[in-house]
Amino acid sequence: MTSELFWFEKYRPRSLDEVADLEEVKARLRELVRSGSVPHLLFYGPPGTGKTTVALALARELYGSMWRECALELNASDERGINVIRERVKEFARTAPPGGAPFKLVILDEADNMTGDAQQALRRIMEMYAQNARFVLLANYVSRIIDPIISRCAVFRFSPLPRKLMAERLRYIAKSEGVELKDDAIDLIYELSEGDMRRAINLLQVAAAASKIVDAGAVASAAAVIRPAEVAELLNLALAGDLIKARDKLRELMYLKGVAGADIIKMLLRELIRSQLDDDVKAEIAEVLADTDYRLTQGADEEIQMTYLLARVGAIGRRVRQTHPLRKKQ
């Protein structure tokens, strides 16, 4: 399968103008390009928020059609050892840029996965060959980059894509591919992707492979997850004190649909936050969710712990009903 078969690559923005959102980032980068004084750069933020896309768009902005000759892109998580830095990166950085370009560009993706020795070697190369090359480091966790490298870079933070812009891009892709995309599908894609555009596009592509009409059900099937309405039903049954029905629903999700207990807990937390329960009730239930999640990570029996969770939530609901009806926020 070629990369063109992946919608994320097919619809990746090719220039800074095409990049959605990130107006402040684009403005700062353009100012650096116009001034001709481009420092080493560090892009950090969650996966799928545009770091690699912006780095490649910057290379095209700097070099035009010669960007492939002037830029070296490496995934540091695969090639993160000190030998790669000393040999491949050093060899590229030490030679003069072609075509009269002011400098070469080295793009190191997932730089936070580099070993400590490799980062120290990279720091020296950044110092020695600053006239020939600029480095763009991409990281999910800036705390894993050593301070000497951070201090040598202009730092840009990338945030998860907001729902409005993600929806616009998904609708554009769906229209281009002849797919009818429903609003409830966009809502579920955004919830599952948590602002990760790459994952959102991949979910849309998998759902569209099964049907040209993509709704929330198609997305849930593609992602192998349960729909939020089913999780809300489970939560409401537990709060109402109907433990038998709640346990039956739990078994349906765990054994018929194959959803792990830890995943159900995460979905319950999302529904809890979104619910109209009082904040003190939410806090108490969240504590039960956290307690159960911890026990599961320690290897406790999944069904026993999840049944315990439902019983605790039922006890909280019963106590609240005895003092006053479960109030809803206005």
pTM for the structure as a whole: 0.71
**Of residues 327, 318, 239, the one with CA closest to residue 279:** 327
Pick the CATH number of 228-323 from 2.160.10.10, 3.30.1490.270, 1.20.272.10, 2.90.10.10: 1.20.272.10
Beta-bridge mates of residue 42: 137, 155
Report helix angle 183-193 to 197-210, nearest 10.
140
Q: How far apart are CA 201 and CA 158, in angstroms?
A: 18
**31, HSE (Cβ side, Cα atoms, 13 Å):** 7
pLDDT tens track, the chain, 330 positions: 334 467 877 887 777 766 766 777 777 888 877 777 788 999 999 988 889 988 998 888 888 888 888 998 887 555 556 677 777 888 888 888 887 788 999 999 888 888 888 889 889 999 898 888 999 999 999 999 999 999 999 999 988 888 888 999 999 999 999 999 999 899 889 988 888 898 899 999 989 988 889 998 888 877 767 777 888 899 999 999 899 999 999 998 888 878 888 889 988 998 898 888 888 999 999 999 999 999 998 889 999 999 999 999 999 988 888 776 544 444
Coil, helix or strand at residue 112: helix
- What kind of architecture, by CATH, is found in domain 3-157? 3-Layer(aba) Sandwich (3.40)
Q: Per-domain residue ranges for the chain?
A: 3-157, 163-223, 228-323
Instruction: Provide the CATH number for the domain formed by 163-223 in this structure.
Output: 1.10.8.60
**Of residues 207, 220, 200, 313, the one with CA closest to residue 263:** 220
User: Hey, do 163-223 and 228-323 end up sharing a CATH topology, with the first three levels equal?
Assistant: no
